[in-house]
Structure 1
Amino acid sequence: MFEAMKEVLVAIWHQDFNALLTPGSAALIYILVAILISLESGFLPAAPLPCDSIVILVGTLSSVGVLEPIIIFPLLIISASAGSWLAFLQGRWLNKLPFVQSWLSKAPTKQMLTVDTLLCRHSLVALFAARFVPVVRSILPMMMGMRVHEEPRFHYFSWLSASLWVGLLAGVGFILPVLPEPISRIVTMGLMAAPLITLSIVIITAITWKIRKALQTKLKLI
């Protein structure tokens, strides 16, 4: 059993499509994929796990009949949402530690209020964008655990963003086998580049926001 699990895990990690077509591997794929998605969504040390490509691969395996879409798609959503909830709980726990409270107390009140407003007002957009950036995927729910006090609101946006993320990536993976090979290759490369594109947008937006705030402050002094 352990050897079979190890072989399937290695095949998932290396995206070995042919190895995953082996009869009897479906049950292990369900279990391992759920664990990987939960870990990567909930714990920062698990950020290197290739979960975006795994979700696409799962969609393709569903398309060729290895996995049941009616089982694996909800399982992916549940795993991603559960991982985000674990990260949220970590934020709640960290917020109770004295050194974290001391660090937060040194931050300017105005900026912290701005962070709270952005997290509350743009929760869906933030969580959805974070799904495509491995490190941010677990950090943002953790920050929300520290700053957002409405847990039902967090769960609503977490489940919705997880559904959109899974629906997009797994859905594209599902249609890849029926696309012509050149188009399939381009689509796959585009999806693999999505985390870098999203991260670049986040960085550019943050820099723009900082420059804008600095200019506003300068104009007020003038």
Structure 2
Amino acid sequence: MFEATQDVLIALWHQDFNALLAPESAILIYVLVTFFIALESSFLPAAPLPCDSVVVLVGTLSAVGVLNPVTAFSLLIIAAAVGSWLAYLQGRWLNKLPIVKGWLAKVPESNMRMVDNLLCRHGLVALFSARFIPCVRSLVPMVMGMRVQETPRFHYFSWLSATLWVGLLAGVGFLLPSLPEPISRFTTMALMAAPIITLCAAIFTFLTWRARHAIRGFKQAMKKN
């Protein structure tokens, strides 16, 4: 049992499609994939796990009959939503720590109000976008746990964004076997590169925002002088 689990785990990590085609591996794939997605969605140190490509792989395995698509897709959605909920609870817990309260107290009130407005008005977009960025996937629900006090609203954002994320990635994986080989290969490469591109775009956007904020503060200071 241990050796079989190890083999499936290594195959998932290396995206070895042929090694996962054995029907007897289905139960282990269900368990490990669910664990992967829940862990990576809830804890920041688990960001290196290749969850985006695993979701696509699950869609492909469902298309060729190794997995049941209804069972596989449902488990992925539950794992992603529950993982976000665990990250949200971490944010609620961190918000009670004196050291975290001290950090937040140093942030200007206008900035905190802006963060609150963005999370409340665009929570679904924030959570959905974050699911495509490994390092941010667990960070955004954690921040929402610190700032968003409406738990039912968070659950709505979490489950809907998880459904959209799984539906998109696993749906593409489900269609890959029916596509011509060149298109299938190109689509797979694009999906593998998407998290890196999204992360770079997020970092660039953040740096641009910080630069504009610094320039605006410098101009205001110059006017006062």
Same fold by TM-score, threshold 0.5 exceeded?
yes
Count of residue pairs brought into register by the alignment? 222
1:31 corresponds in structure 2 to: 31
Q: Which amino acid aligns with 1:105?
A: A
Q: Which amino acid aligns with 1:93?
A: W
Supply the distance in 1 between the matched residues of 2:101 and 2:213 (Cα, whole angstroms): 26
Q: Which amino acid aligns with 1:45?
A: P
Supply the distance in 1 between the matched residues of 2:81 and 2:23 (Cα, whole angstroms): 29
Supply the distance in 1 between the matched residues of 2:113 and 2:66 (Cα, whole angstroms): 49
Supply the distance in 2 between the matched residues of 1:144 and 1:13 (Cα, whole angstroms): 30
2:188 corresponds in structure 1 to: 188
Q: Which amino acid aligns with 1:11?
A: A
| Percent identity (aligned) | 69
1:180 is displaced (CA, Å) by 0.9
Supply the distance in 1 between the matched residues of 2:196 and 2:122 (Cα, whole angstroms): 21
- Taking structure 1 as the reference length, what is the TM-score of the superposition? 0.95
Q: Please give the per-residue CA displacement for 1:33-77, whole angstroms capped at 9, x wherever unaligned.
A: 000100000011111100000000000000000000011101100
Determine whether 1:129 maps to 2:129: yes
Give runs of aligned pairs for residues 37-48 of structure 1, distance below 5 A: 37-48=37-48
2:172 corresponds in structure 1 to: 172
Q: Which amino acid aligns with 1:138?
A: S
2:77 corresponds in structure 1 to: 77
1:215 is displaced (CA, Å) by 4.8
1:55 corresponds in structure 2 to: 55
Supply the distance in 1 between the matched residues of 2:169 and 2:145 (Cα, whole angstroms): 26
SS of residue in 1 equivalent to 2:127: helix
2:142 corresponds in structure 1 to: 142
Gaps in structure 2 of 5+ consecutive residues: none
1:216 is displaced (CA, Å) by 4.6
Q: Which amino acid aligns with 1:26?
A: A
Supply the distance in 2 between the matched residues of 1:172 and 1:56 (Cα, whole angstroms): 7
1:124 is displaced (CA, Å) by 1.1
SS of residue in 1 equivalent to 2:23: coil
Q: Which amino acid aligns with 2:18?
A: N
Supply the distance in 1 between the matched residues of 2:22 and 2:196 (Cα, whole angstroms): 33
1:116 corresponds in structure 2 to: 116
Larger deviation, residues 79-88 vs 115-124: 115-124
How well do the aligned residues superpose, as a CA RMSD in angstroms?
A: 1.5
Q: Please give the per-residue CA displacement for 1:120-177, whole angstroms capped at 9, x wherever unaligned.
A: 1111111111101101001111011011111111110111111111011100100111
2:156 corresponds in structure 1 to: 156
Supply the distance in 2 between the matched residues of 1:203 and 1:90 (Cα, whole angstroms): 24
Supply the distance in 2 between the matched residues of 1:114 and 1:198 (Cα, whole angstroms): 23
Supply the distance in 2 between the matched residues of 1:151 and 1:202 (Cα, whole angstroms): 26
Supply the distance in 2 between the matched residues of 1:203 and 1:11 (Cα, whole angstroms): 31
SS of residue in 2 equivalent to 1:25: helix
Determine whether 1:199 maps to 2:199: yes
- Taking structure 2 as the reference length, what is the TM-score of the superposition? 0.94
